[in-house]
Amino acid sequence: MIITLKNGSREFENGMNALDIAGQLSQDLKKQAICARVNGEIQELVKPINEDCTLEILTFEDDEAKKVLRHTASHVLAQAVKKLRPEAKLAIGPAIDNGFYYDFDVDEPFTPDFLAAVEKEMKNIIKKNDRLERFELPRQEAIAFMEEKGEPYKVELIQDLPEDAVISFYRQGDFTDLCAGPHLPSTGKVKAYKLTSIAGAYWRGSEKNKMLQRIYGTAFTSKDELDAYLARIEEAKKRDHRRLGRELDLFDIRDEGPGFPFFYPKGMILRNLLEDYWRQIHRVAGYEEIKTPIMLNRSLWERSGHWDHYQENMYTTKIDEQDFAIKPMNCPGGILVYQRRPWSYRDLPIRSGELGLVHRHELSGALHGLMRVRCFTQDDAHIFMTPEQIKDEIKGVYSLIDGVYKTFGFPYSVELSTRPENSIGTDEMWELATNGLQGALDELGVKYTVNEGDGAFYGPKIDFHLEDSLGRTWQCGTIQLDMNLPERFDLTYTGADGEKHRPVMIHRVLLGSIERFIGILTEHFAGAYPLWLAPVQVKVLTITDRADEAAKAVREKLEKLGIRTEVDLRNEKIGFKVREAVMMKIPYMLVLGDKEVEEGTVNVRTRKGEVIGTMKLEEAIAMFLKEIETKEIK
């Protein structure tokens, strides 16, 4: 048979598997191989190949290979739990980003000590190096097989599969699990693993179902990789925005309002600085700011499609016997603003931006600090334009997003998502919209990946994935072309021919949501925000009470120049005062003692422990103002 590889085609004996082929290519490749991609589909290394095909041998560098390794690790975890707690009922155990989990139904909750015992048992299973053997059963036999093993959740999963579905199982030693695969050839290939936490999880994610016990873990091909990952996790814990929000007195989520953030005075300074920056760059880019109501009636949401397709995520009420909904999105309100008057092609494009507060009902288990909340402010903008203006408007939005991410020091990647199967609109409109997005990216010289078929049902989109200081990626900015809402709301403009035409609509956000972006910024900078964003920029510290009046005068001068300043006049040692200011992540400290008061100078220190030294106050002010103006990141 002829196998087409990355570097050309070669002939191999019929019936060979990918692992054998890898061995003929390179023993090192065979050692690193995890799975194979055959004619575009992921399959196990030991599955025989009986026809001509394209073949890629995948190592841990490939995301699909990571999933295969970690999925196998989840089966090892399940086998270990069943060994230690035979009464445990198996639910599901998939690979996820950076790891895996498995859900169990048990009478007694798992404990950290139990996790240690499970890890030890996993080591024994891996040492045995049992092969993972796939087999299939007819539907009724599969149900009977799982019923005999006392696995009700597996029975339910089988019953919910389509009638013609292939029902497959994987056996490793004395353990068998319902699974579609693929997997590693044997348990011994799980080289480095760690169980990381225990959590509760509703069966199938529904609050109506039973709460299960979930064990999270991760797996890598080497201990060094695992150790590096665990070190990043520990660093991430130190940077957890929920902890820092409380410690730095910025924001918090209280038990009285799950998913509804509280912003304290210093947090409001940070928030307002972000919003002021947002308004400034939008004025320059030709946007007009609008504000739409937080609550609108049912007929609007029916027309937009939200009432039928998104109602379970909406908060509703009645006013004067009419149904109303608190807005989960700003778009319909923005459309009503466009409808306020007739437009000509000469008026277009119309660019309107809104910092709009929206509410969405999220399951309590999905809530996570500022990252996943029930109310948040979207930095939305909507652009209404002619089809001919698509490319230029996309280029303008891209440049705006690029400038924002550079300001905060975020590298990012770009993804273009194209027409999905359940789309609306004509072929002509989709071609025009997709070519507009792609053409704009090409003209800008942007590197991007194409995500085929992952666009919104109403139009293609560009997503921006920014990378933080820990290498984590966050999807924040997006540019979406919409051919649905202009049609639903019968939006028009008068063209050069005097006829009515349908505008094209762009939905776009830069930050995503103010709350989530603050969470991301807090973890990215570990609470040590750049000087221009720091709620307190300078703290004046006195060595003796003889410097108190001079310290107050320094603060007054700094505040008049717009530099946010605090003074510490407490009768404490200067080392204690400095340490406390450093813990509060204040960028600069000005120390004043008898010598500084006499000479009219200040001793400048930074939160990083750097002692810049003595300088005239005017010199220090000039340094601060320059760093603030340039938004420098140190």
CATH number, position 580: 3.40.50.800
Give the chain's radius of gyration (CA, Å): 30
Q: Which of 507, 508, 605, 607 is catalytic?
A: 507
**Pairing between β-strand 95-96 and β-strand 2-5 as defined by DSSP bridges:** unpaired
Q: Which of 103, 130, 177, 380 is catalytic?
A: 380
Alpha carbons 601 and 596: distance in angstroms, whole number: 5
CATH of the domain at 148: 3.30.980.10
CA dihedral 110, 112, 116, 121 (to 10 degrees): 10
Q: Which of 241, 306, 360, 419 is catalytic?
A: 360
Q: What angle do CA 239, 403, 527 make, to 5 degrees?
A: 15
Q: Which of 239, 266, 359, 382 is catalytic?
A: 382
Residue 111 lies in a domain: yes
- Three-state DSSP state, 472: coil
Alpha carbons 481 and 356: distance in angstroms, whole number: 20
Give me the helix-helix angle, 112-128 and 63-84, nearest 10°. 110
- Are both 387 and 496 inside the same structural domain? yes
Alpha carbons 521 and 326: distance in angstroms, whole number: 28
* Residue 360 annotated as catalytic: yes
Instruction: Select from 2, 26, 38, 4 the least CA-distant residue to 182.
Output: 38
The domain boundary residue, chosen from 59, 79, 106: 59
Residue 164 lies in a domain: yes
Residue 300 lies in a domain: no
- Are both 209 and 267 inside the same structural domain? no
Residue 176 lies in a domain: yes
Range of the domain at 576: 538-630
State the distance between the two ends of the chain, measured CA to CA, in whole angstroms.
Answer: 59
Torsion 608-613-614-620 (CA) sign? negative
Q: Which of 71, 79, 306, 331 is catalytic?
A: 331
Q: Which two tokens stand for residue 476?
A: 């924040």
Residue 77 lies in a domain: yes
Any idea which residue has 């300043």 for tokens? 565
Q: Are 345 and 385 in contact (CB under 8 A)?
A: no
* Residue 71 annotated as catalytic: no
Give the total number of structural domains in the chain: 4
- Are both 375 and 520 inside the same structural domain? yes
- Are both 388 and 449 inside the same structural domain? yes
Q: Beta partners for 571?
A: none
Give, in order, the Cα–Cα distances in Å from 341 to each of 309, 386, 502, 608.
Answer: 29, 17, 15, 56
pLDDT above 90 covers what percent of the chain?
A: 85
Instruction: Select from 25, 19, 66, 86 the least CA-distant residue to 47.
Output: 19
- Are both 220 and 265 inside the same structural domain? no
- Are both 226 and 167 inside the same structural domain? yes
Torsion 600-605-606-610 (CA) sign? positive
- Are both 42 and 89 inside the same structural domain? no
Residue 581 lies in a domain: yes
Residue 301 lies in a domain: no
Q: What is the pLDDT of residue 445?
A: 93
Classify burial at 204, counting beta carbons within 10 Å of its beta carbon; exposed 0-12, middle 13-18, buried 19 or more.
Answer: middle
* Residue 595 annotated as catalytic: no
- Are both 222 and 178 inside the same structural domain? yes
Q: Which of 43, 172, 213, 378 is catalytic?
A: 378
- Are both 73 and 52 inside the same structural domain? no
**Pairing between β-strand 8-11 and β-strand 601-606 as defined by DSSP bridges:** unpaired
Q: In the chain, which residues have pLDDT < 70?
A: none
- Three-state DSSP state, 259: coil
Q: Are 447 and 479 in contact (CB under 8 A)?
A: no
Alpha carbons 180 and 315: distance in angstroms, whole number: 39
Assessment of whether the complete model's pTM goes beyond 0.85: no
- Are both 399 and 471 inside the same structural domain? yes
Alpha carbons 544 and 571: distance in angstroms, whole number: 7
* Residue 524 annotated as catalytic: no
CA dihedral 573, 576, 577, 583 (to 10 degrees): 180
* Residue 361 annotated as catalytic: no
- Are both 592 and 470 inside the same structural domain? no
CATH of the domain at 28: 3.10.20.30
* Residue 461 annotated as catalytic: yes
Neighbouring residues of 605: CB distance < 8 A, sequence distance ≥ 6? 578, 588, 589, 590, 591, 611, 612
Residue 314 lies in a domain: no
- Are both 233 and 274 inside the same structural domain? no
* Residue 382 annotated as catalytic: yes
**Which residue type, as a one-letter code, is found at position 632?**
E
Strand 322-326: give its sheet, edge to edge.
295-297, 322-326, 316-319
Neighbouring residues of 471: CB distance < 8 A, sequence distance ≥ 6? 232
